A and B are shown apart, each in its own frame.
Chain A
Amino acid sequence: AQSVTQLDSQVPVFEEAPVELRCNYSSSVSVYLFWYVQYPNQGLQLLLKYLSGSTLVKGINGFEAEFNKSQTSFHLRKPSVHISDTAEYFCAVRPESGGYQKVTFGTGTKLQVIP
């Protein structure tokens, strides 16, 4: 079984400041890793994903994440946030192999950008 931990339920940050949203996971098998963003009253949108290769992954809207296998982490970063980044962010994992594999989501981190 897999689990995803997002320790920070809320992260307030001033506009144009950098931000890091933390994600740690636990799994007995290799997993693919994802970050999704959910704006108020909307569905989820994929920000970025790690499948293989370079451990630094760049996504949309200026976000990037680094996969650290030894620390089982996949933290999301942005060097300068905008008001429009205010949203809920979900980290997720999915086992690589075997038939259908369910996505396991973290509990989410609400990013609040302060003007």
Chain B
Amino acid sequence: DTEVTQTPKHLVMGMTNKKSLKCEQHMGHRAMYWYKQKAKKPPELMFVYSYEKLSINESVPSRFSPECPNSSLLNLHLHALQPEDSALYLCASSLASGAYNEQFFGPGTRLTVL
């Protein structure tokens, strides 16, 4: 299994909703990442987990809450989002967090906040 899966593919939510994005990999990778990608822009790093511990938070607002329940799963809990949070959310994983490790990306969840 050499892929990263993400669910759901599409999500529409209101500003008062609570929802979660899920990411899963079974490649034995110990580093996992959340990126946010706005239209026609490159991905922006949000969070990095290394060995199930949060190692990097790129000053992301608290309405985004990551969780890594085990080495294969990564969640992103969403609450009280704003319309400007609408974007493609990409999950990625790598064997470890070192720079030479290739990051494998999932297909993304396209989020629309109304």
Residues of A that sit less than 8 Å from B by CB? 32, 36, 41-46, 49, 51, 90, 94-97, 99-103, 105-108
What residue of chain A has the Cβ atom nearest to residue B90's Cβ?
A43
Which chain B residues lie closer than 8 Å to A105 at the CB level?
42-43
Q: How large is the interface on B (under 10, 10 to 19, 20 to 34, 35 or more residues)?
A: 20 to 34
What residue of chain A has the Cβ atom nearest to residue B33's Cβ?
A103
Which chain B residues lie closer than 8 Å to A95 at the CB level?
99
Which chain A residues lie closer than 8 Å to B56 at the CB level?
100, 102
Expressed in whole angstroms, the Cα–Cα distance for A100 and B58 within the complex equals 13
Residues of B that sit less than 8 Å from A by CB? 4, 6, 40-43, 45, 48, 50, 55-56, 58, 90, 92, 97-100, 102-108, 110
What residue of chain A has the Cβ atom nearest to residue B106's Cβ?
A43
Expressed in whole angstroms, the Cα–Cα distance for A42 and B106 within the complex equals 8
Pick the contact of A100 from B41, B97, B107 — CB < 8 Å? B97
B105 touches A32 (CB 8 A): no
B105 touches A43 (CB 8 A): yes
Which chain B residues lie closer than 8 Å to A107 at the CB level?
41-42
Which chain B residues lie closer than 8 Å to A51 at the CB level?
100
What residue of chain B has the Cβ atom nearest to residue A96's Cβ?
B99
B42 touches A90 (CB 8 A): yes
A106 touches B100 (CB 8 A): no
Q: What 6 additional pairs, Cβ within 8 angstroms, besides A44-B105, A95-B99?
A: A41-B108, A42-B107, A42-B108, A43-B106, A49-B102, A51-B100
